[in-house]
Amino acid sequence: MDTSHQTRILPVNATNLGKLVLKNDSDFILDDWQFEFNENEDVVNLKLAAGSLRDSDIPVAFPTETVYGLGADATRSNAVLGIYKAKQRPSDNPLICHFASLQQLRDLLRPISNECSAEQLEDPIPPIYKSVIQKFWPGPLTIILPNPKNSPLAPEVTAGLHTFGARMPRNLLALLVIKLANVPVAAPSANASTKPSPTAAEHVKNDLHGRIDYILDGGPCDVGVESTVVDGLSDPPAILRPGGVSIEQLRSCAGWEDVVVGYKDAAEASGVPRAPGMKYRHYSPAASVLLYESNAISPTLETPRKQEMSSIGIVRTRKWEPAFVENPTSGSPLKVWDINLGPNVEDIARGLFSALRELDKKQVDVIFVEGIADEEGDVAAAVMNRLRKAAEVNVT
């Protein structure tokens, strides 16, 4: 691995950039749009990152509302291969493409021809997605689309599939980077493969320093877990990865009343994954993770003492007491690092990956995590999905 790059963090305050300008004939806020930029250092940093993404084969990290993404021009193989190289990601794990507008997505889906029939000029986005796009885009929802014949997408994006995932992020910096680069942007999470997803610029630098040139710093992410991935091409429609949009929300949309769960919490052992995050172990810190399901009895310090561990980490949510700490007068010394994410599901989602990374910095031997009930909604299901993929032991 080439680690010769001088990775720079480029801070950008989104409130200083300028203003959004909609097209007069647009019937939807992101059918197409323009942006009137101010002249300041924030804009300079934004345009530097966008120019590098457009012209270089070295990917650029940028914030989205879910987690930080590692972006490259999705139409150039060398650029997309730069993502796999920087992350050390398996090449059979497909990438999600990010778009700045519906017009940009439609341009990719339409056949390239000088003589288009009336049928070809119709909206190329399958009708099943109309209701969910109107409700959840821009936002944490990825839709599975057929990859068109003679597609401009690099083959490395789809990892051999005849479909690809498309998303329009809600984060303004992400939208502007894609708009300025003027290409669809392939962007998985900006972490080293298998590690916890990054929700802050410093997380990206910890994993990828020396492997990329630029990290666009827009502050911490709002959601904290990746987008929900849905397949409307199947019958019935299916959720391939839980995330920021719940199954109840999807079922409120026309055509999605019977949407089903199409994912497993454990990594699938073989075959080409239908969507990112379905096949390999993900989200794992260096320490072993012991996940306690919501119905499990809370752990004690007896086991780590018997195994002569020097330090452990604890991630608490709902029921575990902060009294799960070491008594200095008992037995051999054991350092306990305790992180309380609180009972709120959204706070747990936002803080989960940061907590795992913080405990990794402490070089703990093992991390005990208090799980929550999947039945509380898809954000809770997304949290538990990530934790089950990270855990070496699942205690029920």
Ordered per-residue pLDDT tens for the chain, 396 residues = 455 678 999 999 999 999 988 776 665 667 888 899 999 999 999 999 999 999 999 999 999 999 999 999 999 999 999 999 999 877 778 999 999 999 999 999 986 544 555 445 688 999 999 999 999 999 999 999 999 999 999 999 998 899 999 999 999 999 999 999 999 999 999 999 888 999 999 999 999 999 999 999 999 999 888 899 999 999 999 999 988 898 889 999 999 999 998 887 665 545 555 655 555 556 678 888 999 999 888 888 777 877 788 889 999 998 898 755 544 445 557 888 999 999 999 999 999 999 999 998 899 999 999 999 987 777 888 889 888 888 877 887
Closest CA to 370 of 297, 315, 306: 315
CB atoms under 10 Å from CB of 294, counted, come to 17
Q: Is 145 helix (H, G, I), strand (E, B) or coil?
A: strand
Residue ranges of the binding site for L-threonine: 66, 98, 167, 187, 227
| Strand locations in 65-155 (E) | 68-73, 96-98, 141-146
Question: Considering only CA atoms, which of 65, 33, 72 is closest in space to residue 49?
Answer: 72
Bridge partners of residue 381, in order along the sequence: none
Dist. CA 197–CA 385, nearest whole Å: 13
Question: Which residues fall within 8 angstroms of residue 4, CB to CB, at 6 or more apart?
Answer: 210
In the block, tokens 């691995």 appear at 1
- Output the pLDDT for position 118: 44
CB 81 within 8 A of CB 69: no
Find residue 370's DSSP bridge partners: 292
193, 214, 137, 250 alpha-carbon torsion, rounded to 10°: 20
pLDDT for the residue 322: 78
Which segments are annotated as binding site? 66, 89, 93, 98, 163, 167, 187, 189, 197, 227, 241, 283
Q: Count CB atoms within 10 A of the CB of residue 23.
A: 12
In 3D space, the residue among 237, 270, 54 whose CA is nearest the CA of residue 141 turns out to be 237
Looking at residue 193, its pLDDT comes to 85
- Give dist(CA 145, CA 158) in Å, integer: 11
> 55 vs 51, 52, 79, 183, CA distance in Å?
6, 5, 9, 11
Map residue 328 onto helix, strand or coil.
coil
Residue ranges at the known binding site for ATP: 89, 93, 163, 189, 197, 241, 283
Specify the DSSP class assigned to residue 189: B
pTM (predicted TM-score): 0.85
Residue 1 has a pLDDT of 44
Three-state secondary-structure class, residue 182: coil
Q: Which two tokens stand for residue 139?
A: 């936002």
Q: Which domains does the chain have, with CATH numbers?
A: 8-261 (3.90.870.10), 288-395 (3.40.50.11030)
The CA-based angle 141-51-218, given to 5 degrees, is 50
In this prediction, residue 334 carries a pLDDT of: 82
Question: Kind and range of the H or E element at 63?
Answer: strand 60-63
Query: Which amino acid is located at 201 in the chain?
Result: A
| Rounded Cα distance, 99 and 175, in Å | 7
